[in-house]
Chains A and B, each alone.
Chain A
Amino acid sequence: MDKLLLLGDEAIAQGAVDAGISGVFAYPGTPSTEITEYIQASKEAKERHIASAWSANEKTAMETAIGMSYAGKRALVCMKHVGLNVAADAFINSSITGAHGGLVVVSADDPSMHSSQNEQDSRFYGKFAQIPIMEPSNQQEAYDMTLYAFELSEKYGTPVLLRPTTRLSHSRSGVARKTPREENPLSLPSDLKQFVLLPSIARKQYNTLLGKQKAFEQEGEESGYNQFFDGKDKSMGIIACGLAYNYLLENYQQTEIPYPVLKISQYPVSKKLVKQIYDEVDSVLVLEEGYPILEELVRGILDEGKPVKGRMDGTLPRAGELNPNLVGKALGIDIAEGYEIPDILKGRPPLLCDGCPHWDSFGALNEVMAEYTKGRVLADIGCYTLSALPPLESINSCVDMGASITMAVGAAEAGLVPAVAAIGDSTFTHSGMTGLLDAVNRNVPITVLLLDNSTTGMTGGQDAAGFGKLDNIVKGMGVAEEHIRIIKPLRRLHDENVQVFKEEIAYEGVSVIIARRECVQTLARRMKLKHAKKKTEAVNK
């Protein structure tokens, strides 16, 4: 078969399709979005009726996948690293229930926070759940490991965590496919109480999980994804995890690596593998993308063994992603230098698009909020978070999905009246609805600006779960009908909209202003498609 040119994300997706999944469950989030999008666009996936619609959030995605695994079929769950916080309850407990059909969880990390609010390392979650973790170093491994992860999952009846990072997720390379496998037939677990985590059953299940740990380590010794390469110079040994292994190789393009190297792409890492390299070298350099997880383990609390170098002693920066130069410097190699970047270069931060409805929503809000002291708008995660930057400078918070409404409730309870929450439609159905119910039950004086651009905009315009349902959801949560106001954020309606904001912000109860106008990006895409369709029809006539 010809090689396919795939992003790391797409390699995982193709691997999952070829592993015989019956469903992919996900909420969009950079850098993980393209996995699900690839399956949604895949002809094979369509023919096989692989379930691939977006979930409302990562927790519902994870639980749906557990349900599919319960029913004996293979399921893939995808999210960005912070999404795993949302799914954590389901994720951690899925290690206790164990899997029936293969269950693979992809959590794509974003070191250097290219599109994220932190750079947490998902390998911690894998260790927390005590399940195997796969960390691919290239696109082919991403494909192969996905197939392997499903095998591993069914062999031990355990979920498996797959952890790509931004640079692999969003880098393309050639990938060779293997023969696709059939989907599993519908079948229930032989023990119908396996998924009932009553304490008495959970204790038994937990012991079963603990009992698998040794085997998980052994799998990592035998799978070939962790590899030892000997070297002549024993003054140092190098442990390189995931992508960091490529950066190591990059620094030895012309010559052989003189040091012994242990490449790690599968966890838990066994004592045997580490001992093999540790015993024969004078010092150890640990290269890992993300937190110094393995480095900390090698050092131990006392750190009194052989000298260990890595992120914790300043050999490598403690924060941010690695690159070939950082690794080269850690190896003491002379690094080529390019030209100096001229001083006149300016930063170019991202901006809301021309014609974006958020300009008009925040334009009206700003005019009304100018009458109050600053710092009253609690916001959320989406394109509209960019309204924190000049020229709008409208919002004062962005913490996690859904935190706008609940933070406004807390601030109002503290006496900050009025307080405004600004949240997008997709974020609202992701994690904002329960907060609105809290607000109604407490009857606090807050105004929620629900920015309905009818899509999940920041990640490229995926379907929003609440499309066409928002008015009824807000009503159903108990917001008084006369305080649910629907406006169209347009420049020519500015004065009208300002009046609506004025009235509702003055109201001493919960009000919701739904600012509804489609995202200009999805609108342009729809119009283009419509135009192309008309053109084809005209030609066919």
Chain B
Amino acid sequence: MKKDIIIGGVGGQGALTIATTIGLAALSEGLQLKQSEVHGMSQRGGDVQSHLRISSNSIASDLIPEGKADMIIAVEPMESLRYFNMLSKENGWLITSINPFNNISNYPDLEDVLSEIRKLPRYVTIDADKIAKDQGSVKAANIVVLGAASPYLGLKYESLEKAIKQLFGKKGDDIVQLNLKALRAGREFAEKNS
């Protein structure tokens, strides 16, 4: 088992939380892991990314080689384009929210962004904000996207649920339940629409 995953978004959108959740789930299945994160300047509203590598064997590089990522998970559609060069042409999946985070003056037309994504052979585009709102809060949009990615991660769904309980436990049961529902809703959407 080996999955190389790029997680992208804008600072503050919860991209690193997705990485941490998958990481915890992978650890609970006894897998090895390397997770590279962006700290510092870019966290101020700039683009952020995480390279997450999970494997049953030892992992050499902290960075995923170009063209070798099994998956891009993006919490923002234009940000998903930033990592196209990383995605494997053989088997790569792209999972992205379709909700733009528009903090730049020259943001491209959303339809153009989505049509670039739809040229790929394997993708899921999801209205994560709406689905998260339906579950109780737009704040869980990142976990909705994770849910949409979950069928292709090669991890047990229960491991992800366990990781969410572990990660959000400190914030109270309400937050845990919200995120579990968000995960489920994202997964159901992906199973119906990919």
- Residues of chain B in range 1-54 having any CB-CB distance to chain A below 8 Å: 10-11, 23, 27, 32-47, 51
- Give every chain A residue within 8 A of B32 (Cβ-Cβ): 173-174
CA distance in complex: A323, B69 (Å): 14
- Determine whether the beta carbon of A350 is less than 8 Å from that of B42: yes
- Interface residues as binary, B43-69 with A (CB distance below 8 Å gives 1, 0 otherwise): 111110001000000011111111111
Query: What is the minimal beta-carbon distance from B159 to any residue of chain A, in angstroms?
Result: 15
Q: Which residues of A contact B38 (CB under 8 A)?
A: 114, 170
* Residues of chain A lying within 8 A (CB to CB) of residue B59: 173
Contacts of B116 in A (CB 8 A): 342, 344
Query: Which residues of chain A have C-beta atoms less than 8 A from B65's C-beta?
Result: 250, 323-325, 328, 335-336
A323 and chain B: residue at smallest CB distance: B63
User: B131 contacts which chain A residues (CB < 8 A)?
Assistant: none
**Are A337 and B39 also in contact (CB < 8 A) when A5-B27, A172-B23, A349-B46 are?**
no
Report A234-249 CB contacts with B as 1/0, cut-off 8 Å: 0000000001001101
A346 to B107, CA, bound (A): 7
List of B residues within 8 angstroms of A345 by Cβ? 78, 81-82, 108
Give 1 or 0 for each of A242-264: 1 = CB within 8 Å of chain B CB.
Answer: 01001101100100000000000
Q: Tell whether A353 is near chain B: CB-to-CB under 8 Å.
A: yes
- Does residue B182 face the partner (Cβ distance < 8 Å to A)? no
Q: Judging by beta carbons under 8 Å apart, are A351 and B112 in contact? A: no
A-B contact count (CB 8 A): 162
Q: Are B37 and A246 in contact (CB-based, < 8 A)?
A: no
Is A374 engaged at the interface, CB distance under 8 Å to the other chain? no
Q: 8 Å CB contacts to A: which residues of B105-143?
A: 106-109, 112-113, 116, 120
**Does residue A339 face the partner (Cβ distance < 8 Å to B)?**
yes
Asked whether B66 lies within 8 Å of A335 as measured between CB atoms, the reply is yes
Q: For B37, give its contact among A172, A253, A459 (CB under 8 Å).
A: A172
A173 touches B61 (CB 8 A): no
B193 located at the interface, meaning its Cβ lies under 8 Å from any Cβ of chain A in the complex: no
The reply to whether the CB of A484 lies closer than 8 angstroms to some CB of chain B is no
Q: Say whether B67 contacts A337, CB under 8 Å.
A: yes
Is the CB–CB distance between A249 and B61 below 8 Å? yes
A53 CB–B CB distance under 8 Å: no
Inter-chain CA distance A341–B27, complex, in Å, is 32
Query: Contacts A115-B40, A338-B89, A342-B84 given: A350-B45 contact, CB under 8 Å?
Result: yes
Which residue on A lies nearest to B113, using beta carbons? A344
Q: Is A482 an interface residue (CB 8 A)?
A: no
B92 within 8 A of A: yes
Interface residues of B in 73-99 (CB under 8 A from A): 78-79, 81-82, 84-89, 92
Counting chain B CB atoms within 10 Å of each CB, the highest count among A168, A247, A349 belongs to: A349
Known contacts A30-B40, A31-B40; A350 and B46 CB within 8 A of each other: yes
Decide if B62 touches A168 in the complex (CB within 8 Å).
yes
- Given A339-B87, A342-B116, A351–B41 Cβ distance below 8 Å? no
Which of A5-35 touch B at CB < 8 Å? 5, 7, 30-31, 33-34
> Nearest Cβ distance between residue B19 and chain A, in whole angstroms?
9
Closest to A337 in B: B67
Partner of B62, one of A246, A325, A336: A246
B33 A174 Cβ-Cβ under 8 A: yes
Please report the C-alpha to C-alpha distance between residue A249 and residue B65 in the assembled complex, in whole angstroms.
Answer: 12
Given known A-B contacts A170-B39, A171-B34, A172-B35, A246 and B108 have beta carbons under 8 A apart: no
Evaluate contact between A173 and B34: CB separation under 8 angstroms.
yes
Measured CB to CB, the closest approach of chain A to B46, in angstroms, equals 4
Partner of A31, one of B39, B64, B89: B39
Q: Decide if B81 touches A344 in the complex (CB within 8 Å).
A: yes
Contact B69 A338 (CB under 8 A): yes
A247 to chain B: which residues have CB within 8 Å? 60-61, 63
Whether A188 is near chain B, meaning CB under 8 Å from some CB there, is no
* B103 at interface, CB cutoff 8 A: yes
Q: Is A386 an interface residue (CB 8 A)?
A: yes
**For A350, what are the chain B residues with a Cβ–Cβ distance below 8 Å?**
11, 41-46
Choose among B33, B35, B66, B79 the residue that contacts A336 (Cβ–Cβ < 8 A): B66
Instruction: Please tell me if the beta carbons of A351 and B46 are within 8 angstroms of each other in the complex.
Output: yes
Residues of B within 8 A of A349 (CB): 46
Ordered by A's residue number, 21 sampled pairs between the chains whose C-beta atoms are within 8 Å are A30-B40, A34-B39, A170-B37, A171-B37, A171-B62, A172-B23, A172-B37, A173-B33, A173-B59, A250-B61, A323-B63, A323-B66, A339-B84, A344-B81, A345-B81, A345-B82, A347-B47, A348-B46, A348-B104, A350-B41, A350-B43
Additional A-B contacts beyond A325-B66, A339-B85, A347-B47 (17; CB < 8 A): A5-B33, A31-B39, A33-B39, A115-B40, A115-B42, A167-B63, A172-B33, A173-B33, A335-B65, A340-B84, A340-B85, A342-B113, A348-B103, A350-B41, A351-B44, A351-B45, A459-B40
